[in-house]
Amino acid sequence: MSKNKTQTKIGAPTFWEQYRRKPLGMVGLAIVSLYVFVAIFAPYLTPYTPKEILLADRIAAPAWFRSILPKFADAPSSVRISLGSQEWTVSEAVGGGLAPAESDDSPLSVIQFEPFVRDEVVSEEEIDVLEVEEYPKEPEQGVVTLSYTLPYNYSAPKTFGLTFNYWIEAPSDSKTELEFVIETPEGKRYSLWGKSVSGQLANQPARIDSRDLSLKQRLGMTIFDDPAPRIFSSRGDYSLLLIARTIPGEEPTRVYISDPEFYIPGTVHGLLGADHMGADLWTQLVYGTRISLSIGLSAAAISVAVGTAVGIISGYLGGVVDEFIMRIVDVLMAIPDLPILIILGALLGKSVWNIVLLISAFAWMGTARLVRSQTLSLRERVFVEAAKASGASDAYVMIIHILPNVLPLVFAGMVLRIPSAILTEAALSFLGLGDPRVATWGRMLHNARGFGAFTTLAWWWLVPPGLAITFLSLAFVFIGNTVNEILNPRYRERS
């Protein structure tokens, strides 16, 4: 045992012992490890998924801009409130009230009004005694106001919205009015929505959006006015009021309000802001790591495997086969790769797998040439001759004798092929030929260009994906060069 140990120490240092002494190689390895970590643990690094939209206003800036840029000092982040029965307080209740909730976190609120019961006609003596006003001729209007206090301490938002569903159970002789009002800290009231119903009403959705033309008309604004900045112009406690008025009938009236959600999209959001759909950019960046790494690695592996096989066959068999293969290689190398990838990508359909295959299909020729020239010299060596003399088949010699000898060259070549595969994928996605279903860095840049990053000067949308691509490519260049230095000292010049 001890003898063995000393022997390995005296002998040539292992690959890893050499590798770890190269600072650039180690830096590259550290960066790639970081990317792999991010790719694997993507779901734990972000609370959202790439498909979630409307998390913030369109092209929201990163949240940390608030602390460094005065322009964003008190920009709002997203406010999203689910108003369940527990959130409301009853601020006014005449002739009815909020029915007790079924559970603590029930999203359903029920406003219940007492029925109006007509008095029996009383005797004439009693009528004479009553004052005229006291005589209960007609049912009185019942009013229930649910209110929610919303503290708002930011600058004005660009939009806001409210959605809920409602339905009414009531006798046919009743009349019910619903209204949604926002009261500013100064006490100014904006009635945003209203509905008047006779009798009962089946389930209806209510969608209030500050950008709606009908809402602007209701508030007496022109189409060029923007309600959101006007309403939320000051800081303090706003009241969201849901008012139900009813002229009760002979049965109780119930107004059901389910899943109300009030939403102010933030103009700042998360680590890197949001895109044009309000999706989280940090999430897209993190999940993009998966696509770039897997496309880069698989395209490089496939192209190098094909190139190695073709190169060995061509170099070892020689003759007509070699001539034929090399002419094909010449033709393929003469084809401009990006234009042909654009055409074929559009023709074959946009999917990640197609992109991998296309990139590999036009990237194996260089490896094939390199391996072929190496094979040409290897096949003249004595050990190949010895193998042939002892009856080895061509396939056996190629796999057992030639392949292991070209592997070091091929391995370094493969690592160096990864950055170009990553860059090609990014370019294709950027041009709009990537898989539309997955978040990739190229797609982020495509969206940034196509959906207003320039006009809004949203550099935070443009910079991170490019940096991510650059650092990953650089890391693989470092690793590839280091591997080349160790395994193929004679080929150092070529890298």
Partner 1 sequence: MFTPEAKAELRRQFGLDDPPLVQYVKYIGSLAKFDLGLSFSTRRPVINELKERLPNTMVLFLSSFVLTTMIGISVGVYTASKRGTFADSFVTGAGLFAYAVPSFWIQLLLLMLFGYYIPILPIHGTMSAPPPDGFFLQLLDRIHHLILPAGSNVVIAFGSWALYTRNTMLEALGQDYIVTARAKGLHEKTVLRHHALRSVLPPIVTLIFSALPGMVAGAVITETIFSWHGVGKYLLDAVMQQDYPAAQGAFYLIALAVVTCNLAADVVYGIVDPRIRVGEGGAK
Q: Judged by CB under 8 A, does residue 470 bind partner 1?
A: yes
Q: Judged by CB under 8 A, does residue 463 bind partner 1?
A: yes
Name which position in 181, 309, 474, 487 contacts partner 1 (CB under 8 A).
474
Q: Judged by CB under 8 A, does residue 86 bind partner 1?
A: no
Q: Which is nearer to partner 1, 30 or 346 (CB)?
A: 346
Distance CA 16, CA 13 (A): 8
Q: Extract the tokens encoding 397.
A: 């010699």
Task: Determine how many CB atoms are found less than 10 A away from the CB of residue 411.
Answer: 16
Name which position in 192, 426, 479, 483 contacts partner 1 (CB under 8 A).
426
Query: Shortest CA distance to 108 belongs to which of 253, 257, 244, 241?
Result: 257
Q: Extract the tokens encoding 486.
A: 């160790």
Q: Which is nearer to partner 1, 37 or 459 (CB)?
A: 459
Distance CA 357, CA 299 (A): 7
Q: How many residues bind partner 1 (CB under 8 A)?
A: 34
Q: Which is nearer to partner 1, 319 or 339 (CB)?
A: 339
Distance of CA 309 to the CA centre of its chain: 40
What's the closest the beta carbon of residue 438 comes to partner 1, in angstroms?
18
CA angle 52, 53, 58 (to 5 degrees): 150
Q: Find the distance separating the first CA and the last CA of the chain, reported in whole Å.
A: 41
Q: Cα torsion at 210, 211, 213, 218 (round to 10°)?
A: 10
- Return the residues of window 315-334 that contact partner 1 according to CB under 8 A: 334
Distance CA 384, CA 211 (A): 78
Q: Which is nearer to partner 1, 395 or 463 (CB)?
A: 463
Spell out, one character per residue from 218 to 237, where the chain touches partner 1: x when CB under 8 A holds, - when not. --------------------
Query: Shortest CA distance to 440 belongs to which of 243, 251, 291?
Result: 291
Name which position in 26, 143, 462, 487 contacts partner 1 (CB under 8 A).
462
Distance CA 57, CA 70 (A): 19
Name which position in 36, 54, 305, 431 contacts partner 1 (CB under 8 A).
431
- 36 touches 293 (CB < 8 A): yes
- Return the residues of window 335-354 that contact partner 1 according to CB under 8 A: 335-340, 342-343, 346
Spell out, one character per residue from 404 to 423, where the chain touches partner 1: x when CB under 8 A holds, - when not. ---------------x---x
* Binding footprint of partner 1 on the chain (CB under 8 A): 334-340, 342-343, 346, 419, 423, 426-427, 430-432, 445, 448-449, 453-455, 457, 459, 462-463, 465-466, 469-470, 473-474, 477
